[in-house]
């Protein structure tokens, strides 16, 4: 990853690129089609509600539970995403939707990442456990927050909100920096 592209005061914010974002939609329950698509992407488990499974057999590949009928595949290698999409191509009751171009993926890192996010989301919306993911409202936009480490969170949002989100991160980061000054 390159140098920080977003100003968030004491929290480093970097764009995660490349990142393939694939919604795997299926009938509720881990059907054979979904399991086969995940295996093709190098992942061996199906996440439970609120869970993010990371770095299976394919390094840089994660799964997020979104609903009983949807799992989101995040892959830093395009080949894993393409394999999952190909595995679901022939299934009439499941599909893979590539959301990569429409998704902004940011990594927020630093010892004050939780303090920053407490200024932007409901405190009950923060994922606290490693490997957990939540959908939340951040400054009136829907985001997904994924706890990657105790001081590192991935934030996924619609790319169309990039400027708005950057402004809110800068605003909250400046307030956070001043709070300790």
Q: Are 154 and 145 in contact (CB under 8 A)?
A: yes
Provide, rounded to the nearest whole percent, the portion of the chain with pLDDT above 90: 59
pLDDT in tens, 57-106: 556 888 999 988 899 999 998 999 999 999 988 888 889 999 999 999 99
- Architecture of domain 20-101 in this structure: 2-Layer Sandwich (3.30)
Give the number of C-alpha atoms closer than 13 A to the C-alpha of residue 117, restricted to the C-beta side: 30
Q: Which option is the CATH number for 12-16+102-179: 2.30.40.10, 3.40.50.2300, 3.30.1360.120, 3.20.20.80?
A: 3.30.1360.120
Q: Where are the domains of the chain?
A: 12-16+102-179, 20-101
pLDDT in tens, 147-167: 999 999 999 999 999 999 999
Q: Give start and end residues of each alpha helix (H) in the chain.
A: 32-40, 78-88, 113-118, 162-179
For the CA atoms of 148, 26, 76, 103, the dihedral, rounded to the nearest 10 degrees, stands at -80
Q: Global pTM?
A: 0.89
pLDDT for residue 103: 98
At how many degrees (to 10) do helices 78-88 and 32-40 cross? Answer: 150
Specify burial of residue 39 (Cβ count, 10 A radius: 0-12, 13-18, 19+). Answer: middle
Q: For all residues of the chain together, what is the average pLDDT?
A: 89
Give the number of C-alpha atoms closer than 13 A to the C-alpha of residue 40, restricted to the C-beta side: 20
For the CA atoms of 112, 117, 120, 122, the dihedral, rounded to the nearest 10 degrees, stands at -130
pLDDT for residue 6: 83
Q: Which of 34, 79, 39 is nearest to 56 (CA)?
A: 39
CA 72 to chain CA mean position, Å = 8
């Amino acid at each position: 990853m390159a140098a920080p592209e977003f100003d968030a005061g004491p929290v480093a914010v970097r764009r995660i690129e490349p990142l393939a974002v694939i919604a795997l939609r299926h009938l509720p329950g881990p059907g054979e089609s979904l399991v086969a698509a995940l295996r093709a992407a190098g992942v061996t488990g199906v996440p439970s509600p609120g869970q993010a499974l990371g770095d299976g057999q394919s390094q840089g590949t994660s799964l997020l539970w979104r609903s009983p009928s949807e799992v989101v595949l995040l892959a830093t290698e395009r080949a894993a995403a393409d394999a999952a999409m190909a595995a679901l191509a022939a299934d009439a009751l499941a599909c893979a939707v590539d959301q990569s171009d429409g998704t902004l993926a940011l990594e927020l890192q630093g010892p004050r990442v939780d303090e920053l996010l407490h200024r932007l989301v409901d405190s009950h919306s923060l994922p606290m456990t490693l490997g957990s993911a939540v959908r939340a409202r951040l400054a009136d936009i829907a985001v997904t927050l994924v706890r990657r480490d105790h001081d590192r969170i991935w934030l996924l949002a619609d790319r169309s909100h990039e400027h708005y989100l950057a402004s809110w991160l800068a605003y909250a980061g400046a307030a956070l920096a001043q709070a300790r000054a």
